[in-house]
Amino acid sequence: MSVKGYIIAMRWAVHTHSPTIFTTLSAEDPQTPGERPFFDESGGFAAAVRSLHYAPSLAKIRQPILSAALATGTTVAEDLSFQIIIWECLLPTLQGLRFVGGYFPTDPEGVLPFKFEYGKVVAVPNDPFRLDQGSGTFIGIEEKTFRSLVGAARNGPMTINDLPRIERRSTGFSGASYLPDGHVLGPIELFRPLAADLI
């Protein structure tokens, strides 16, 4: 296996930032031969890459302890539980999958686009007459993948190499994405909460 070095930098901008700040992606290919053989017989490098890949996503879905454990290669105590909200996607192509996550509201006041009525979740747009306003963006991680990440945080960084394989699925909708690593992203209107759980 050969590894070639690249320098990648990303900067994300959201609507609360200054109008002069834009989302940017920069990539540079420094002049390196990239032909040195690379061996990862122990699996340590793969575990580090996987851990550092998932750590920022765990921070985004308000799991800072799990994020820190994966980012630093440390473990968390067995008696520590993590509260999660389990969601489902309403797109037919993602039926049967469950996700752990939440949403970033479009409205700075964070108005929940749902209400609970007679034990059911009812979607309630903030202003149903305006077509130019969304309620927010959902971000999540497929539930089995998330539970495996919790296991890696409890049992040690090398166990992240045992992540379950995920069936590749297309969302069939250009406004949402489901990646082969278990990440999902889309308008909050396409998701609904199912349950709260402690892991």
Torsion angles phi and psi, residue 181, rounded to 5:
-95, 5
What confidence tier does 16 reach under pLDDT thresholds 50, 70, 90?
Answer: low
pLDDT at 107 over 60: yes
User: What's the pLDDT at 8?
Assistant: 78
Q: Note the helical H segments in 75-198.
A: 143-155
Q: Where are the domains of the chain?
A: 43-198
User: What's the pLDDT at 1?
Assistant: 44
CA atoms of 176 and 82, how far apart (whole Å): 27
What is the per-residue pLDDT across 90-100, written as a single tens digit (0 to 9) for each?
Answer: 999 999 999 99
Comparison of pLDDT for 137 and 113, the residue scoring more: 137
* Two structure tokens written together for 18: 């200054």
What is the per-residue pLDDT across 135-155, written as a single tens digit (0 to 9) for each?
Answer: 789 999 999 999 999 999 999
Per the prediction, the chain carries an average pLDDT of 85
Label residue 62 left, alpha or beta by phi (over 0 means left) and psi (-120 to 50 means alpha): left
| C-alpha to C-alpha distances, 104 to 49, 187, 188, nearest whole angstrom | 26, 10, 9
User: What's the pLDDT at 15?
Assistant: 61
CA atoms of 19 and 17, how far apart (whole Å): 6
In sequence order, what DSSP letters do the residues of 78-98 get, joined into one string?
A: TT---EEEEEEE-SGGGTT-E
Determine the average pLDDT of the residues in 67-85. 95
In this prediction the pTM is 0.77
CB 47 within 8 A of CB 157: yes
